[in-house]
Structure 1
């Protein structure tokens, strides 16, 4: 079966995530240099003034520490997204940003919710669940790697700290899960071995001929079975030519 998506590295898969990282640091630098207070770019739940934050809030951060904790996961996870899911990466990123922002606007407590952590949780959730649902060994390995690197983040979808927007984290996780269910095509398909294919015939499999009808292993296949595997129309002929130069010598 031909896969609909081939894995091939492109420099853009690294440039685009780096651009995201540079963008959020640039906004914070502008905020420091200008003295502007950009928290009003965040999401304020169930309020008209908080609607622009659905799109803008991932670019606003409260401190260098906040930026530092978000930058590396954002770059790593978005690089993985563009490499393994390059045909749907922009759709996942765009819809994920909107959905996580909308869910935060609907569900969160009244406060300014800022930062790219909602998008990060969306990426973690999407990559993890999509790898499980796709049943492709490469994508499943990526899911396990995400669990190993970012599994501890699951605690922050709960109200463990009043200073953290756990509602934004939860919204991102929900958005990633929904997107993993929605995008069923244009991903790496499950690997199918030859015995799983519809045209597979057990009696033509050379390996299966080493077993009798009762399942006992046969180390040496009978000659008649081996001869039957050969093409009866195949004939090999050898032609010899006399080397006249050798006689002269």
Structure 2
């Protein structure tokens, strides 16, 4: 692992990033889903629906939803009657998810605090591993990908939904202005936290582009790696198989 890692546009020590990312998500947990709606115009719901359709969860499967604290992906996966473990490094995010599940009457999910880089689960335990809008906040991404590979069974599948860099030139310029100028202001208005949402936007800019990240997934041992761009790559679904 490098001596420094990115925290938004800053380069900081790995431990400092872990601490500061934890602070960000403790600050935004209660308003996280409201802000997702505001930032994406509600489109994140459609992206997550599409993501879960690609995963194709099946009854009886063991699925790990990493960085899934608020439950958005887990609730969709659970409709298949698969056994879902929701893992997140941030207890505040897990509390929001458990509260939402109770209000919706969704039972049977397993909620656990876990670090994506050092998972406590045994080798070859899960049929599928999902992570949505979480991988870019991990301090050591290669370590997290390696752990995802370790805990999957042979024939298991990895799916990641994450912001990337759109390849549509005109749209890229418009989104750049919107995200840098307006999203932090929305954070201040809706969550009274401009700095956290500035970090979230900056972290997208520092995240590897689609092909580079696909290569990182392959380097972790996954085969048949693919990337499915959405809105020209503004968001992307990456996938791979453990064989």
Return the TM-score normalized by structure 2.
0.26
Which structure's residues are more often strand, by fraction? 2
Structure with larger Rg:
1
Which structure's residues are more often helix, by fraction? 1
Return the TM-score normalized by structure 1.
0.26
